[in-house]
C-alpha cells in the first residue's frame, strides 16, 4: 500500500531518512499505538460485518453436496476438495444463461434510452433555458426518489395497455423513469464544468450550435456519458420490484428476479448454484460501482461537496 | 480539436446576445432548449406522473386484477386496510425498521467515515469491502443473507455453538440453531440488521465526501488551540457535518421506508405476517391478492415520508446555492 504519510508522522519500521522521525516520548508512543490499534480494529469490524455474507456465499459455491449437508463436518472447511460442479449445473441445467442474456438486453436498452434522453436534457438545463434550469434540475432529480413500490400497481396496468405485459421490454420502457432523473442530474454537473468559451469558439469558427455541441461539447463530456452508462446499468441490475410485478414467465426474467424466484423452489435449494448465480453478477457490479462511486456521491449531495 | 486551439479574430457575439433571428433555426436557443428538454419531461410525465395519478385513483376505487374499471368508492379502501391487523403490523414494522436502523446508521456512518478518512494499510480493500452491501444488487445481497441465516446451516449458529452460547444447556439453547427467520422477534432483528448493513456504506461515503470539504486549517487551528483529537472530532468536525449527515440519513430513510426486496426475499412477510412492511403488504394484497385498489391505498402510505424527504432536500439545495 502506498498511502502517503505526512512527514514527521512516526510510523513503525520507517527507514531513517525516509521520513523525519522525531524523538519519541514513550508516553506519546503508547498513545499512538493505541490509536492505530483502535483504527485497525474499527476498520476490521466494518470490513467483516460488510463482507460476511459475501464471504460465506463465495465459500459455499465450491462445496460438494455431501460436504455441505453433513452436519458432522466443520462448516468452515472444505472437507471434500472444492468443486466447480455447482457452477456447471447452474449454466447447464437452469435458465441462468437466459437470465443473464435478458439482463444484458434490458441494460443495453435502458442505457440507450437514458443517454439519448438525459444528455440533451441536461445540456438544455445548463445552457439553454436560463435561470430556472437549476430548479428544474432539482425537481427532475426528486423524481428519482419516487420508489417503485409506490408506482408498481398502476404501472402494471400501463405496461399491460402497451402490450408489454410479461415481456422484458416492459423493463426497458419503465427503468428509464428512474435512470433519466438520476443521469440528468449527473450530467448537469458535468456540463457545468465545461466552459462556455469552447462552444462559443466553435460557433465563431462557423459551426451551428448543434454542430458545436457535437464537435466540441460531447467529446469533452465523454467521461460524464461513461458515468451515465455505468449508473444506468447498475441501477438496472439493482431494480427488483418492477421486474417482480411485470414479469412472470421465466424466459423473460432478469437476474435479480430470476435468481430469487426461479432458483429458489419450495424447500429444494441448490444453495451452491444459487450462491454462484448471485456472486457471478454481484461482484463485477460491485467493482464497477465502486470505481465510479465518487460521481454517485457528488450527485447525491446535490454537488454541494465533490466526491 | 482545431476549433478550440486556433484563435480567429473576435467577432462581436456574446452570451447576452442570442443568435440573430436570421440564423439557422437550430441555432435558436429558445427553440433548441425546449426541444432537447422535451423528451425527458414527456417520459417522466407519461411514466411517472400518470401512474402516480392512477395510483391515487385506484386507492379510491374498487379496481381488482379482474376488473380494472375505476368506480369511486370514497374512503372505503382506507377504512378496510386501517381495520386490518396485518396492515397495522406492517405500518409499525416499517416505522420501526426505518427509524431504528437509521439511528444506528448515523453512528456507524460517522465512525466509518472517520476511519476511511484516515490513512492506513489496506484502506482500498477495506473501502471495497465496506461498500459491497450498497454496491451489490439488493436481491442478490439478500439471497446471500438468506443462506447466512439459514435454519440449519447458518455459520452464525455454528460460531455460537462453538463458543458455547447455543445448544442444550446454553444461553440461547436448548435448540441447535437460532432459527433467525422463523421467530418473529429474531426475524425482525435480522431485517433491521440487513437495513443497517445495506444503508451504512452510502451514508458513510456521503459523510466522507463532507469531511473532505472541511478545510484542514480548521483542524489545525483547533489543534493549536490545544483541542484533543476527540474534541476536534466532536466539537469541530461533527457540527460542520450535520447538514451532510442529514442528507445521508435522508436517503437511508427513503430507501429503508420504501424497500420491499429485503422482506420479500428473506421472510415473505412471515412468520405469520409478523415482518410485513407497507410495500410488501401492498404487493401481497395488490398483485398476489389481486385487490389492486387496496394495494394502491397501502402504497400511498409511503407518500408522506417522500414529501418530508423532498422538503429536506429542497432546503439543503437552497443552502448550497447560497453558499
Q: How close B63 gets to chain A, by Cα (Å)?
A: 11
pLDDT for residue B124? 87
pLDDT for residue A302? 65
Interface of B with A in 159-188 (CB under 8 A): none
Residue B72: phi, psi to the nearest 5? Answer: -65, 125
d(CA A280, CA A91): 11
Interface of A with B in 233-262 (CB under 8 A): 234, 237-238, 240-241, 244-245, 255-257, 259-260
Check pLDDT > 60 for residue B26: no
pLDDT tens by residue, B105-139: 999 999 999 898 888 888 889 988 998 998 888 99
What SS3 string covers chain B?
CHHHHCCCCCCCCCCCCCCCCCCCHHHCHHHHHHHHHHHHHHHHHHHHHHHHHHHHHHHCECCCCCCCCCCECCCHHHHHHHCCHHHHHHHHHHHHHHHHHHHHHHHHHHHHHHHHHCCCCCHHHHHHHHHHHHHCCHHHHHHHHHHHCCCCCCHHHHHHHHCCCCCCCCCCCCCCCCCCCCCHHHHHHHHHHHHHHHHHHHHHHHHHHHHHCCCHHHHHHHHHCCCCHHHHHHHHHHHHHHHHHHHHHHHHHHHHHHCCHHHHHHCCCCCCCCCCCHHHHHHHHHHHCCCHHHHHHHHHCCHHHHHHHHHHHHHHHHHHHHC
Of A64-78, B179-193, B248-262, the one with minimum mean pLDDT is: A64-78
A45 near B CB under 8 A:
no
ipTM (interface pTM): 0.83
- Enumerate the residues of chain A whose CB falls inside 8 A of the CB of residue B1: 215-216, 219
Q: Looking at per-residue confidence, does B317 or A193 come out higher? A: A193
pLDDT for residue A289? 82
Interface of A with B in 97-156 (CB under 8 A): 116-118, 120-121, 123-125, 127-129, 134, 138, 140, 142-143, 145-147, 149-156
If you write DSSP's letter for every residue of A159-206 in order, what string do you get? Answer: HHHTT-TTSTHHHHHHTHHHHHHHHHHHHHHHHHTS-HHHHHHHHHTT
d(CA B259, CA B254): 8
Helix/strand/coil for A19:
strand
d(CA A104, CA A91): 16
pLDDT for residue A3? 47
Please, are residues A298 and A305 in contact by the beta-carbon 8 Å criterion?
Answer: yes
pLDDT tens by residue, A254-303: 998 998 888 876 666 788 888 999 899 988 888 888 888 877 777 777 65
Cα–Cα separations (whole angstroms), residue A83 to A80, A86, A272: 8, 7, 10
Strand pairing report for A264-265 and A268-269: antiparallel
Least CB-CB distance to A145: which of B208, B261, B309?
B309
Q: How close A305 gets to chain B, by Cα (Å)?
A: 6
The mean pLDDT of B248-260, rounded to a whole number, is 89
d(CA B266, CA B276): 11
Taking CB atoms and an 8 Å limit, are B147 and A210 in contact across chains? no
Which site among A53, A215, A272, A303 would you substitute to test the B interface, given the most B Cβ atoms closer than 10 Å to its Cβ? A53
- pTM (two decimals): 0.85
Helix/strand/coil for A25:
coil
Which residue of chain B has the CA closest to A122? B37
Please, are residues A118 and A229 in contact by the beta-carbon 8 Å criterion?
Answer: no
What residues have CB less than 8 Å from A221, skipping those under 6 apart? A119, A187, A190, A191, A194
Q: How close A142 gets to chain B, by Cα (Å)?
A: 7
When the pLDDT of each residue in chain A is averaged and rounded to a whole number, the result is 83
pLDDT winner (highest mean) among A135-149, B54-68, B88-102: B88-102
Phi-psi region of A110 (alpha: psi -120 to 50; beta: other; left: phi over 0): alpha
What is the count of residue pairs from A and B with beta carbons less than 8 Å apart?
342
B37 near A CB under 8 A:
yes
307 residues of chain A, pLDDT tens digit each: 444 444 444 455 544 444 555 566 788 888 888 888 999 999 999 999 999 999 999 998 898 888 888 877 888 888 888 888 888 888 988 889 999 999 999 999 999 999 999 999 999 888 877 777 778 888 888 888 888 888 888 898 889 888 998 899 999 999 999 999 989 988 888 888 888 888 888 888 888 888 888 888 888 888 889 989 988 998 898 899 999 999 988 899 999 899 888 887 666 678 888 899 989 998 888 888 888 887 777 777 765 544 3
d(CA B44, CA A184): 12
Grid cell 433571428 — which residue?
Answer: B21
The mean pLDDT of B258-277, rounded to a whole number, is 90
Taking CB atoms and an 8 Å limit, are A209 and B27 in contact across chains? yes
Interface of A with B in 145-164 (CB under 8 A): 145-147, 149-158
- Enumerate the residues of chain B whose CB falls inside 8 A of the CB of residue A196: 15
* Grid coordinates belonging to A142: 426528486
Taking CB atoms and an 8 Å limit, are A297 and B209 in contact across chains? yes
Check pLDDT > 60 for residue B11: no
User: Rounded to the nearest 10 degrees, how much is the dihedral formed by the CA atoms of B201, B139, A68, B174?
Assistant: 70
Please, are residues A228 and A98 in contact by the beta-carbon 8 Å criterion?
Answer: no
Phi-psi region of B288 (alpha: psi -120 to 50; beta: other; left: phi over 0): alpha
Which residue of chain B has the CA closest to A55? B144
Which residue of chain B has the CA closest to A283? B136
pLDDT for residue A48? 93
Q: How close A20 gets to chain B, by Cα (Å)?
A: 18
Least CB-CB distance to A128: which of B36, B229, B303?
B36
Please, are residues A145 and B306 in contact by the beta-carbon 8 Å criterion?
Answer: yes
* Grid coordinates belonging to A275: 450462491
Report percent pLDDT > 70 for chain B: 89
Amino acid at each position: 500500500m502506498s498511502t502517503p504519510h505526512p512527514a514527521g508522522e512516526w510510523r513503525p519500521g520507517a527507514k531513517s531518512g525516509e521520513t523525519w522521525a522525531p524523538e519519541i516520548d514513550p508516553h506519546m508512543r503508547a498513545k499512538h499505538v493505541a490509536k492505530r490499534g483502535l483504527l485497525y480494529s474499527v476498520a476490521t469490524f466494518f470490513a467483516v460485518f460488510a463482507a460476511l455474507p459475501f464471504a460465506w456465499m463465495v465459500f459455499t459455491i465450491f462445496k460438494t453436496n455431501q460436504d455441505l449437508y453433513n452436519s458432522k463436518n466443520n462448516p468452515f472447511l472444505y472437507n471434500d476438495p472444492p468443486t466447480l460442479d455447482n457452477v456447471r449445473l447452474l449454466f447447464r441445467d437452469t435458465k441462468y444463461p437466459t437470465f443473464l442474456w435478458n439482463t444484458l438486453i434490458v441494460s443495453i436498452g435502458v442505457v440507450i434510452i437514458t443517454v439519448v434522453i438525459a444528455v440533451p436534457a441536461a445540456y438544455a438545463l445548463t445552457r439553454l433555458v436560463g435561470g430556472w434550469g437549476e430548479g428544474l434540475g432539482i425537481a427532475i432529480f426528486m423524481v428519482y426518489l419516487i420508489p417503485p413500490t409506490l408506482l408498481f400497481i398502476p404501472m402494471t396496468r400501463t405496461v399491460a395497455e402497451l402490450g408489454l405485459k410479461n415481456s422484458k421490454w416492459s423493463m426497458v420502457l419503465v427503468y428509464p423513469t428512474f435512470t433519466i432523473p438520476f443521469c440528468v442530474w449527473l450530467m448537469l454537473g458535468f456540463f457545468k464544468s465545461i466552459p462556455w468559451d469552447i462552444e462559443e469558439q466553435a460557433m465563431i469558427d462557423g459551426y451551428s450550435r448543434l454542430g458545436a455541441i457535437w464537435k466540441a461539447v460531447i467529446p469533452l463530456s465523454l467521461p460524464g456519458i461513461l458515468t451515465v452508462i455505468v449508473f444506468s446499468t447498475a441501477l438496472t441490475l439493482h431494480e427488483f420490484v418492477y421486474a417482480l410485478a411485470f414479469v412472470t414467465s421465466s424466459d423473460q426474467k432478469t437476474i435479480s428476479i430470476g435468481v430469487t424466484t426461479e432458483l429458489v423452489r419450495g424447500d429444494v435449494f441448490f444453495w451452491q448454484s444459487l450462491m454462484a448465480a448471485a456472486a457471478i453478477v454481484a461482484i463485477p457490479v460491485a467493482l464497477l460501482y465502486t470505481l465510479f462511486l465518487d460521481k454517485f456521491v457528488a450527485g447525491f449531495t446535490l454537488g454541494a461537496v465533490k466526491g | 480539436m482545431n476549433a478550440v486551439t486556433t484563435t480567429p479574430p473576435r467577432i462581436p457575439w456574446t452570451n447576452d446576445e442570442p443568435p440573430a433571428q436570421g440564423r439557422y433555426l437550430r441555432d435558436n436557443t429558445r427553440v433548441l432548449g425546449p426541444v432537447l428538454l422535451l423528451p425527458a419531461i414527456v417520459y417522466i410525465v407519461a411514466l411517472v406522473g400518470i401512474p402516480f395519478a392512477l395510483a391515487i385513483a385506484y386507492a379510491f376505487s374498487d379496481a381488482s386484477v379482474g376488473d380494472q374499471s375505476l368506480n369511486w368508492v370514497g374512503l372505503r379502501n382506507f377504512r378496510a386496510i386501517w381495520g386490518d391487523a396485518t396492515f397495522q403490523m406492517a405500518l409499525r414494522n416499517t416505522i420501526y425498521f426505518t427509524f431504528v436502523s437509521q439511528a444506528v446508521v448515523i453512528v456507524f456512518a460517522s465512525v466509518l467515515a472517520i476511519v476511511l478518512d484516515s490513512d492506513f494499510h489496506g484502506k482500498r480493500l477495506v473501502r471495497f469491502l465496506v461498500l459491497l452491501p450498497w454496491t451489490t444488487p439488493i436481491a442478490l445481497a439478500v439471497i446471500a443473507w438468506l443462506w447466512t441465516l439459514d435454519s440449519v446451516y447458518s455459520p452464525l449458529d455454528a460460531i455460537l455453538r462453538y463458543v458455547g452460547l447455543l445448544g442444550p444447556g446454553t444461553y440461547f439453547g436448548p435448540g441447535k440453531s437460532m432459527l433467525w427467520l422463523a421467530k418473529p422477534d429474531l426475524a425482525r432483528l435480522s431485517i433491521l440488521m440487513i437495513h443497517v448493513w445495506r444503508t451504512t456504506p452510502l451514508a458513510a461515503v456521503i459523510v466522507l465526501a463532507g469531511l473532505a470539504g472541511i478545510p484542514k486549517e480548521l483542524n489545525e487551528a483547533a489543534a493549536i488551540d490545544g483541542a484533543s483529537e476527540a474534541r476536534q472530532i466532536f466539537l469541530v468536525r461533527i457540527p460542520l457535518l450535520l447538514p451532510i449527515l442529514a442528507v445521508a440519513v435522508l436517503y437511508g430513510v427513503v430507501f429503508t421506508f420504501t424497500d420491499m426486496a429485503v422482506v420479500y426475499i428473506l421472510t415473505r412477510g412471515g412468520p405469520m405476517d409478523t415482518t410485513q412492511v407497507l410495500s410488501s403488504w401492498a404487493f401481497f394484497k395488490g398483485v398476489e391478492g389481486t385487490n389492486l385498489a387496496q394495494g394502491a391505498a397501502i402504497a400511498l402510505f409511503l407518500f408522506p415520508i417522500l414529501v418530508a424527504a423532498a422538503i429536506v432536500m429542497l432546503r439543503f439545495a437552497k443552502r448550497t446555492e447560497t453558499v
